[in-house]
Amino acid sequence: MTAPWRAGVLSLFPEMFPGPLGHSLAGRALERGLWALEARDIRAFATDRHRTVDDTPFGGGAGMVMRPDILDAALASLADGRPAICLTPRGRPLTQDRVRRLAAGPGVVLLCGRYEGIDQRVIDARALEEISIGDYVLSGGEPAAMVLLDACVRLLPGVMGAAASAEEESFAAGLLEYPHYTRPAEWNGRRVPDVLLSGHHQAVADWRRAEAERITRERRPDLWAAHTRTVEPGLRRASVAVAPAAP
């Protein structure tokens, strides 16, 4: 049997895990042994009787900083070649491409910060990859760790029912996903676009591609610019003009 994808989490609140990851797709995959999760308490690596893990910042300032010696010992306990990541708002944005590469590897070790931040020396010494899930600040790295783990786990072999679902999702081809519709065909005066009821598979595919391109252009010009740089204009399939659903 193939070894499961292994996630190690270092946190001051290990009891927060698996949390939402114990339910739905990720939870069932955890029960089936498709991935494994180990959450360790950073305080277990403190050396004083008060289990202190932070101290005042050199140079002054508000808040407390997590100590490098304590975090280094915690990281050493899980160091086995897996990528080690620190969740921080100053990190590089988490992307679907990075998620795919992490999911294709043996697993990941995640360090969840708290307080004012983490001593830079342990980040440098351990060559931690700093990742952010968005341009906002959380109380700690735990929710960000759950986001990253959920994104990775759903891509593991055997977790999702249909591989095609992952291939057509937002960001899979550098575009946001197209709109979805289901029964009833008309609801509150709003009809499903006729092309989706036509049974013409190529026309449906063209409509979905055109809608994905339109939504990406309108909502994420940064993604659209990157997409147009990586796909030669001459090779890009022509967008088709399809009337939207009635308002």
Q: What are the tokens at 241?
A: 């003009």
pLDDT for the residue numbered 170: 67
Fold: same for 5-153 and 169-230: no
Parse the chain into domains and list their residue ranges. 5-153, 169-230
Give the per-residue pLDDT at 244. 44
Measure Cα distances from 33 to 6, 16, 30, 137, 153 in Å.
10, 20, 5, 33, 12
129-132 vs 84-93, strand pairing mode = parallel
Query: CA geometry: angle at 169 spanning 240 and 94, to 5°?
Result: 125
Residue 215 has pLDDT above 60, yes or no: yes
With helix as H, strand as E and coil as C, how does the chain read? CCCCEEEEEEECCHHHCCHHHHCHHHHHHHHCCCEEEEEEEHHHHCCCCCCCCEECCCCCCCCCEECHHHHHHHHHCCCCCCCEEEEEEEEEECCHHHHHHHHCCCEEEEEECCCCEECHHHHHHCCCEEEECCCCCCCCCHHHHHHHHHHHHCCCCCCCCCHHHHHCCCCCCCCCCCCCCCCCCEECCEECCHHHHCCCHHHHHHHHHHHHHHHHHHHCHHHHHHHHHHCCCCCCCCCCCCCCCCC
What mean pLDDT comes out for the span 53-63?
95
Residue 106: both structure tokens together: 């043996």
CATH 1.10.1270.20: does it fit domain 169-230?
Answer: yes
Q: Which of 126-140, 169-183, 206-220 has the lowest mean pLDDT?
A: 169-183
> What CATH number matches the domain at 5-153, 1.10.3720.10, 3.30.1540.20, 3.40.1280.10, 3.30.1540.10?
3.40.1280.10
For 58-86, b/e burial (b = at least 16 CB within 10 A) is: eeeeeebbbbbebbbbbbeebeeebbbbb
**Angle made by CA atoms 2, 20, 73, in degrees to the nearest 5:** 70
CA distances from 101 to 93, 96, 161, 236 (A): 14, 9, 20, 25
Q: Measure CA of the first residue to CA of the last residue in the chain; give whole Å.
A: 52
User: pLDDT, tens digit, for every residue of 119-168?
Assistant: 999 999 999 999 999 999 999 999 999 999 999 999 999 999 755 566 66
**pLDDT of amino acid 87:** 98
Q: Per the confidence metrics, is the pTM higher than 0.95?
A: no
Is pLDDT of 246 > 50? no
- Mean pLDDT across the chain, nearest whole number? 91
Comparing CA positions, the residue from 83, 81, 76 lying closest to residue 130 is: 83
